[in-house]
Chain A
């Protein structure tokens, strides 16, 4: 069942197209990773989904309802954590959490206390004194303690320490186990790899790749690290081999999935001493796209 869907979503700020035909689709119980470098358009997409920005063109629906027209109705079942969490300097974290829970229309005291404990947050401090990570915790506690059907999280871990990131990941897994859907934007690839069922990669407002992690890896093949007795002078000419690099006496390269058998046969002819294979990380996948299009935009 589709929970969230956009079709040809375009957002222009003046002449500048921040989003250019974005299509994504989040199904029920899915964790959907939305990754891209800074300025790619992740937050803009999410703001359109929340009815805070109005799309220039295209459709976006959540729970089958239009995100602009039915914003209030949709938001009763959505929990959101913004990318930059700015809070009111003169309210305490505890007050803000209560306010957020109430504005969504829920009330779950025990869950609130549990999350405050797990995230190790001091709710009696004024928001003015909170670091970026602590402000993010406030937004996360408020979002996660609500009983929503869809969680929209915009780079929620960018200020958290590794320990808290683990807590966050547990929470996401719990939510998924309860059948909740999650749209998780990030530029931290390992996070997306660990949590997400599906991924869309956005760059300069365009979705350049999407699918399940498995599908995306299929596109890029397997990484091989091989050390042989005799040198392999013509490896570069073998079909399906790319990106050869020297690594302490061994060669590392990428092999297209359909040529794997053929390549391994070729390599074994030179006397294998050591051979390691691994699926490419999202990072490598990402880098390949940047190399393909020249100027990248920093991660």
Chain B
């Protein structure tokens, strides 16, 4: 029986490793490198305990808690405690994202492209593919955990002792494992790769938001999210192992559930209901734009809701933050408010930066969809009819531009409206909205880079995700410590006015928009010249 179910799992695992022999090492090394680089940066920035203690007092406020998790060891803020507090959760979320992408790639995508069918026709067990995918993912996350842990320890930093370092790595690895399993479950529920991916990323975001609400409000809510468990390992402070082990246990349980669901469904089918079909197309579908929008409609709406919720969850902690600042006298002394701005307002630009970079994900997905369609050989149906390449690419670009406006508006308004509702003094919604819209030119520049890649380097469009992740780290780290000015200037997000602290810089915005337009135009030229195909 086991033979029937799992035969060939070993060979399939090796095959997955072989297919991803470049992709997986890049992921792992990026995490190790980013972690080590941050640890080294922390040491360089804060030379003694006084300096660290000073920053600790600004870190305990609810906005920071919502963003990076509860601060353990704030009373004795060692380099280790600082690292675990400020970096662990964010890195864990990206590790989770890695797992989502890799699992979907080897389960639902392969299934949709008919590759699983071919594999199944060989003497291979029914569950072998899911089992092999999870096996590889667990392995990847274990290697990631060990390498990160050992590298941190090897830095030989006083407060980063061996156990804490290994736990730090293990917390990252465990997050990767649980999201690998959850994604494997989503891959069984949905009917296709796209919706499985949407569902998985949705769960990742939900886990983050639930944890944020829980961390700020109620401990019990935080325990509903696996990310809440991870931060409760209190790495480098109390080194509590069992939440991490519990996460691994949950990963195994969900992995089992994924396999069970896989064993009781037909190939190509899912569990979520599919609606009965229409015989005729609605007039809204009947154009390249209509088609492009229709293909992304569900994802678009889901992202729009998520952006509002994300903004709202940041907004909801503004009230807590206000009372927190009022309570702590020490804070009043340490952080002299900038003239004319409340302490709460001073946090707005950082929150906006994080939110708009997240909002850029659906924006880029919208324009990159045209490349996905090309890879799936569906573009020729459109280009083979009376549709020009400009009109085709333009349709996807237009959706992307609309998405940039909608997503960022919703995030800004979510933050503004909820903050206004929860704060005693009230909150300037218009200011929040302006702060969000200030990021539009930067997002357009990212669209420009994407169109440029689509036009000239179609095989390398994935590079844009690397650039976005890079931007995130640069901006996020830049807001935590004073990185040199030029580092931020390597990404469009480094050219945005920090409203309300700064005036809106029209010249900067116009230059950024012009660059975006130029990139887009050059991209279109390339798209009109090249072969269409895989």
Contacts and interface: CB of A to CB of B under 8 A. Distances in A.
B191 A100 contact: no
Interface stretch (A70-78, A178-186, A189-197, A213-221): A70-78
A296 interface: no
Interface in B193-216: none
A100 B192 CA distance: 23
B394 interface: no
Contact of B279 (A52, A94, A99): A94
A51 interface: yes
Given A54-B529, A91-B294, A99-B281, A86 B378 contact: yes
B478 interface: no
Interface stretch (B97-105, B379-387, B481-489, B499-507): B379-387
B460 interface: no
Given A52-B380, A53-B532, A72-B386, A99 B285 contact: yes
B380 A72 contact: no
Interface string A120-148: 00011110100000000001000000000
Contact of B280 (A53, A95, A126, A139): A95
A123 B531 contact: no
Contact of A86 (B285, B377, B533): B377
A76 B281 CA distance: 21
Interface stretch (B10-18, B219-227, B247-255, B270-278): B270-278
A87 interface: yes
Contacts of A105: 385-386
Given A52-B383, A71-B388, A72-B386, A128 B286 contact: no
B287 interface: yes
Nearest to B381: A100
Contacts of A95: 277-278, 280-281, 285
B21 interface: no
B386 A124 contact: no
A88 interface: yes
A16 to B, nearest CB: 13
Contacts of B382: 103
Contact of B386 (A82, A88, A96, A104): A104
B272 to A, nearest CB: 12
A98 B285 contact: yes
A50 B380 contact: yes
Contact of A47 (B274, B529, B533): B533
A124 B533 contact: no
Given A51-B383, A99-B281, A124-B279, A90 B192 contact: yes
Contacts of A252: none
A79 B511 CA distance: 45
Interface of A: 47, 50-54, 71-73, 75-76, 78, 80, 82, 84, 86-96, 98-100, 102-105, 123-126, 128, 139
